[in-house]
A = this chain, B = another copy of it.
């Protein structure tokens, strides 16, 4: 065991701490957003000093970028594990449900921020950009397949469906229903899926 065992344990502790930092970051980001989140918030939430964060991440931007990368990796993993026999529309619905449940448990959306500043920051993060392009590619493929299969409206441009779909993954109605209505998680998810695909009309 000797030397190698001790080194491996130390690496594991480092990674565990890094995960704790990313978990805390995710929670604080979803509650406060990028601009109001401070490095002291994150450090306090983990129970370490702020400069210790810099052992793991070069800067606040780096930290947030990694948290976003982890989130998108989660979505990509979810897609990779999806049963192959689902239709493209069912896959889109399953991913939307996954994203909604992540959010209802305190996670955060993976739509690129509408804030130009945050978007610009994330666009400098190659790891993030590559993952977003991969995820986009997959979702676009589902959309065009579902349009061909007659499950999604073929008269709507792919862009319109893509951006609307992303927007439904972080629909603020979710937060409002959670805060102000008596609906439980399952009902919220069910209604949100319905509104996304069927709209509001009768």
CB proximity to B under 8 Å, residues A6-59: 31-33, 35-36
Tell whether A159 pairs with B171 under 8 Å between CB atoms, given A33-B115, A35-B33, A153-B198. no
Which of A68-76, A77-85, A120-128, A189-197 sits within the interface? A189-197
With beta carbons under 8 angstroms apart, the residue of B150, B170, B171, B195 that contacts A156 is: B195
Q: Is A176 in contact with B163, judged by CB distance below 8 angstroms?
A: yes
User: Which residues does chain B contribute within 8 Å of A150, judged by CB atoms?
Assistant: 202
CB-nearest residue of chain B to A188: B160
Which residue of B164, B170, B180, B202 is within 8 Å of A200 (Cβ)? B164
Minimal beta-carbon separation of A64 from chain B (angstroms): 15
Contacts of A116 in B (CB 8 A): 31-32
For A, the interface residue count at a CB cutoff of 8 angstroms equals: 49
Most chain B CB atoms below 10 A, which of A115, A173, A196: A173
Residue in contact with A197 in the complex, picked from B117, B183, B201, CB distance below 8 Å: B201
Least Cβ–Cβ distance between A34 and chain B, in angstroms: 9
Residue in contact with A115 in the complex, picked from B32, B89, B154, CB distance below 8 Å? B32
CB < 8 Å neighbour of A191 from B156, B170, B175, B177: B156
Task: Give Cα A166 to B195, complex, Å.
Answer: 13
Given A160-B195, A171-B167, A191-B160: A200 touches B36 (CB 8 Å cut-off): no
Binding site for B on A (CB under 8 A): 31-33, 35-36, 89, 111-112, 114-117, 147, 150-154, 156-157, 159-161, 163-167, 170-173, 175-177, 180-181, 183, 191-192, 194-202
7 contacting pairs across A/B (C-beta < 8 A): A160-B191, A163-B177, A164-B192, A164-B195, A166-B176, A167-B172, A196-B199
